[in-house]
């Protein structure tokens, strides 16, 4: 089969389009013929060696959508021919993948493969952050950093579905602002040109945001405390800046504010059972037409280098999809 592999750490050019063996599956796994896969920022980190141990060669990619072509002897939940999305055991930039049963999810008939591939990482993550960690309440103000990206545009929509009163997004450059607005953000701030904390406080009459979703880290995380409301929740779920943010204990206890951390990768590894209910709720939102996956770019599998360059240079908007078959 064809696949994209990483043979050494480095820039996008280290991605190679090659022939590899179709992966083997055990009794608790399914073999899936991939139709579409998505590109996530975590793929960039793994290519540079910032995630994982780097046992070369390896196939990057977190999620994919396709059709089951074989099932393990212990599988009861799935059968050959079913359309699914999955988090594979060995990367998704390939014509075939293997996934554990508990990380495979059946697709509603109405959900196409493009939408399905764009869905798992960003929508499961956004829903968990807002519904389960932040425990969003009706009417609350939500601040979403990197609002034009895949997670950002999805989180904007889910926040609105779950009853947010006001949604504020931040972006790295003005060109991305319109994409966040189209997703439903009430206000969009360019954090490279403006003091987002001051503007958030102005927009909330000095109260600040009740919930802040932060995947940037560093100074952005630190400045977020300047506009986090009493009893507010700052959810930290990534560090795309590569910087470390520092907080002081006196910023929390008297204000009754919380800083919470979440990793979808850790959850897939340690508590995959938590994602089954999330998947059902997300698929229903998509099936009912309430949640629209914002897809910004399509590439063929052999053009993964270009896809990585786009997201790494922060020129992407929405999800990036790889067409496999």
Query: Quick one: fold of 125-265?
Result: Rossmann fold (3.40.50)
> Hey, what are 273's tokens?
């059972």
Secondary structure of residue 168 in the 3-state scheme: strand
Residues of the chain with pLDDT under 50: none
> Would you state the pLDDT for residue 69?
98
Tell me whether the omega of the peptide bond preceding residue 57 falls within 30 degrees of 0, making it cis. yes
Distance CA 140, CA 155 (A): 14
pLDDT score for 240: 81
What pLDDT shows up at residue 5? 97
Please give the model's pTM, rounded to 2 decimal places. 0.90
Whole-number pLDDT of residue 41:
86
Domain boundaries, the chain: 2-119+293-323, 125-265
Two structure tokens written together for 162: 């779950």
The string of pLDDT tens digits covering residues 137-173 is 999 999 999 999 889 999 999 999 999 999 999 998 8
Q: What is the DSSP string of 38-62?
A: EE-HHHHHHHTTSSS---SSB---S
Beta bridge partners of 214: 236
Could you say which of 3.30.365.10, 3.90.180.10, 3.30.70.520, 3.40.50.300 is the CATH number of the domain covering 2-119+293-323? 3.90.180.10
């Amino acid at each position: 089969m064809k696949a994209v592999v990483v043979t050494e750490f480095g820039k996008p050019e280290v991605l190679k389009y090659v022939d590899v063996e179709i992966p083997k599956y055990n009794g608790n796994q399914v073999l899936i013929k991939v139709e579409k896969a998505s590109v996530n920022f975590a793929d960039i980190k793994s290519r540079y060696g910032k995630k994982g141990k780097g046992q070369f060669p390896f196939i990057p990619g977190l999620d994919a959508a396709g059709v089951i072509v074989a099932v393990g002897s212990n599988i009861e939940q799935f059968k050959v021919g079913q359309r699914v999305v999955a988090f594979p055991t060995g990367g998704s930039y390939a014509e075939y993948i293997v996934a554990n049963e508990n990380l495979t999810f059946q697709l509603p008939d109405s959900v196409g493969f493009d939408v399905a591939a764009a869905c798992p990482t960003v929508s499961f993550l956004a829903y968990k952050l807002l519904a389960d960690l932040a425990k969003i309440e009706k009417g609350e103000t939500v601040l979403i950093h990197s609002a034009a990206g895949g997670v950002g545009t999805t989180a904007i929509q889910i926040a609105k579905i779950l009853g947010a009163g006001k949604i504020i997004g931040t972006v790295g450059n003005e060109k991305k602002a319109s994409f966040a607005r189209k997703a439903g953000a009430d206000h969009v701030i360019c954090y490279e040109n403006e003091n987002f904390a001051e503007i958030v406080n102005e927009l909330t009459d000095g109260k600040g945001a009740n919930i802040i979703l932060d995947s940037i880290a560093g100074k952005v995380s630190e400045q977020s405390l300047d506009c986090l409301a009493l009893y507010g929740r700052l959810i930290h779920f990534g560090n795309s800046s590569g910087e470390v943010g520092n907080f002081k204990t006196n910023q929390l206890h008297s204000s009754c504010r919380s800083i919470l951390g979440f990793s979808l990768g850790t959850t897939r590894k340690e508590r995959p059972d938590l994602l089954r209910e999330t998947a059902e709720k997300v698929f229903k939102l998509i099936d009912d037409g309430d949640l629209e996956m914002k897809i910004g770019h399509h590439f063929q599998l052999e053009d993964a280098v270009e896809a990585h360059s786009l997201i790494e240079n922060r020129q992407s908007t929405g999800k990036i999809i790889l067409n496999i078959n």
